[in-house]
A and B are shown apart, each in its own frame.
Chain A
Amino acid sequence: MVCALCAAWGWLQALAEQPSEYDVKAAFLLNFTRFVEWPADAFAAPASPFAICVLGKDPFGRALDDILEGESVNGRKLEARRISEAPAARACQMVFFGTTEKDILRAVRSSGHGVLTVGEGEDFIRAGGAIGFILDNRRVRFDINQAAAEDAGLKLSSKLLNVARSVHKIEMDQQP
């Protein structure tokens, strides 16, 4: 009974404040950690936190920090970091590219082993990113470049693939 009231309350609240696009995307970033398997050598140390890094312009504001507050992946604390250049090896496990500039795209390629790259639009996929957000009829969805993720040594859950709008296999070499 109490739970039913809780549920009803939560639902009412959700109606009151429709989440913004980046609130959703922040939540997606968190959720990706649940459907992707990182290799053990993706971390600097056994106790290292799981870092979600925002490269370049930060579109999330407080949303990302809020959503990651208190969360963890396989015992590792989740934390958000803002970085301005390509991250050092094993410093970030997920990198969100806030821009689609060419050099940034290059940075995507340089993102090494054990890093899930997430960006905006189909171009990001084509540029060699693993997951690209897409607005489909005002709804946040994403495409997946399975080849990029596999190159980074990541294993994507079939459920994740199932939810993606489309799954590609774009090899790096074919990129211009």
Chain B
Amino acid sequence: MRPFRDRPIRQKLAIVTMLTTAAALLLAGAGIILADSVLFRGYLRRDLSTLARIVADNSTASLAFNDPDSAAQTLAALRARTHVAGACIYRSDGTVLATYSARSGFACPPPVMAQTVRSSRDQLTVSQPVVLSDGRRVGTLMLVYTLSEIGERVRLYGATVLCVLVAASLLAFLLSARLRTVVATPVSRLLRAADLVSETGDYGIRAQKLSGDELGVLVERFNAMLAGIQSRDTELRKVLLDREAALREIERERARFRFLAESMPQKIFTAAPGGESDYFNRQWTEFTGLSMEQIGKEGWTQFLHPDDLEDSIRAWRNCVAGGEPFLHEHRFRRADGIYLWHLTRAHPMRDAGGNITMWIGSSTDIAEQKEKEDELRRANEDLRQFAYSASHDLQEPIRNVAIYSEIIGRRYKDVLDADGQQYLGFLREGGRRLATLINDLLAYTMAGRTEIEPVPVSSSGVLQKAVANLSEAIRESGAAISSDPLPEVLMGAAHLQQVFQNLITNAMKYRDIAAPRIHISASAEGGSWRFAVRDNGIGIDPQYKETIFGVFKRLHHDEKYSGTGIGLAICQRVVERYGGRIWVESQPGAGATFYFTVPRYARTTLAVQSSAG
């Protein structure tokens, strides 16, 4: 026998319905029987009291005139009431006047004076005084009523209730069959749908909603749950597919990268985010003559020049720790034992979150380039040395030429004729020009010198100094020089002053008839300050925009515009030294504006530099 809770809902419904019906009927039946027996007793008491009063009333004469016969006759009328067991009429002295008994064995109970109804388990005993019209009591009537009737009624009711119970249970069973279709059918369908889903794994299955009650809601929820699972399932599949695709893509990318790396002329390597190299392309084996296993095992330090080892490792560790690109020149040992210069670059690759996923690096053979650079540097140095010493050494003879031609001019003025005077003038002029040329050459070589440290300087202050230096020339030419407020820049003050001086001199030199008006301004442009020196001079033909910055390039060779042609070259050299550039914008006859840029510097940069210094 299965426990009730494990039975199918169908059976549960039937059992519950029938039990409910039976319980209700039994309770109702019990209530009716109980109420009836109580009510019936009350009814009987009243009924019997009335009956006793009537009989007593009819017995007054019999008692008054002591007539047992008529009394017996009166009592005999009780025969109509089958449940009256017996009755007795007593005289006032307690003797029995008449008796009625429905069955043998009835004995008159002792008379009770008062009017009472006594009830025992199986009978009611009524005592009724017999009183004449004047209130005189002439006797007593006792009436005994058997309660077997109540038992009969209870049995009758019981039988009725039982019959109704059977009929109602049958009806309930039939009705519950209908109920089963209302409740059990949707449940079993839901169950079937659930079974089907778990068997097939097809989350597209839906249970059919048959009603709008809780079962209907349950079906809806079930379907919604299935829909949720279905969409998640689909999503999951998609994610898995995407993942597979992504993995394939990564594999393809890797293959592509390998192919690319192998086909490169450079030496390519990759490293883990922690800096440990994990890949070297074939060029490495070809260059070092080492096997791939050996390179992979001991890394690049094994063929590094011993002198470069410490520096390179430190730089690499710093870059890995800071995530900064790595750029380093060092020597690698070739298979034949010769060390060749290489430029190694490595960049960190980052994911979307900014985390380094790997390092990719390349090493390029720069031995040849290095060689050429060295040669060039040496040649430049030689040239600079030559120019410096030449200009320095030339100063002395030039000064002599100037001094002695001056002395001759003064002391032998009377001796020399007009031609001599003129030749002497040419000599003096030549000497002066030569001195200027030498000075400028010196300045040019000075501009390339690195001894001057860049410090923050006020460009306004520098401009003032430049103007003060040029005060003689300014006064002669009648030039008007103005300027906007100018920024603070990070430059050697002497260099900036050289630039200003040269540009202002240039502007005053190539003047028109009008007095020169020169204006200096500066504006922020990207990461730089752009200075502008504008004049109202003769202007420059655009075709010479580039050439004017060359050394000894003069556009005007006539006497009107004196100069060595080296000033703008000096300016360019200085500006480019600080990472800026210089150019000119002009139209002939419309004045010219010279621009140069100086990188802006942040105060923090300055702070770092000054603390480092």
Contacts and interface: CB of A to CB of B under 8 A. Distances in A.
B92 interface: yes
Given A11-B93, A34-B132, A3 B113 contact: yes
A35 B61 contact: yes
B61 A163 contact: yes
17 contacts: A3-B113, A4-B113, A7-B93, A10-B94, A11-B95, A14-B94, A14-B95, A28-B65, A34-B60, A35-B64, A71-B134, A72-B134, A159-B58, A159-B60, A163-B61, A163-B62, A163-B64
Contacts of B114: 3
A73 B62 CA distance: 20
Contacts of A10: 92-94
A44 interface: no
Contacts of B67: 141, 163
Contacts of A140: 66
Q: Interface extent on A, as a size class?
A: 20 to 34
Q: Interface extent on B, as a size class?
A: 20 to 34
B70 interface: yes
By Cβ-Cβ distance, the 4 closest A-B pairs, closest first, are A11-B94, A159-B61, A14-B93, A3-B113
A140 B66 CA distance: 8
Main secondary structure of the interface of B (DSSP, over half): loop
Contacts of A6: 113
Interface in A11-30: 11, 13-15, 24, 28
A89 interface: no
A36 to B, nearest CB: 11
A140 B67 CA distance: 9
Contacts of B162: none
B348 interface: no
Given A7-B94, A73-B134, A159-B62, 19 more contacts: A7-B93, A7-B113, A11-B95, A14-B93, A15-B93, A28-B64, A31-B65, A34-B134, A34-B136, A35-B64, A139-B66, A142-B65, A157-B61, A159-B61, A160-B65, A162-B70, A162-B73, A163-B62, A163-B70
B64 A4 contact: no
Contacts of A13: 93
B374 to A, nearest CB: 154
Nearest to B64: A31
B111 interface: yes
B133 interface: yes
A162 B112 contact: no
Interface string B41-66: 00000000000000000101110111
A24 B93 contact: no
Interface string B102-136: 00000000111110000000000000000011101
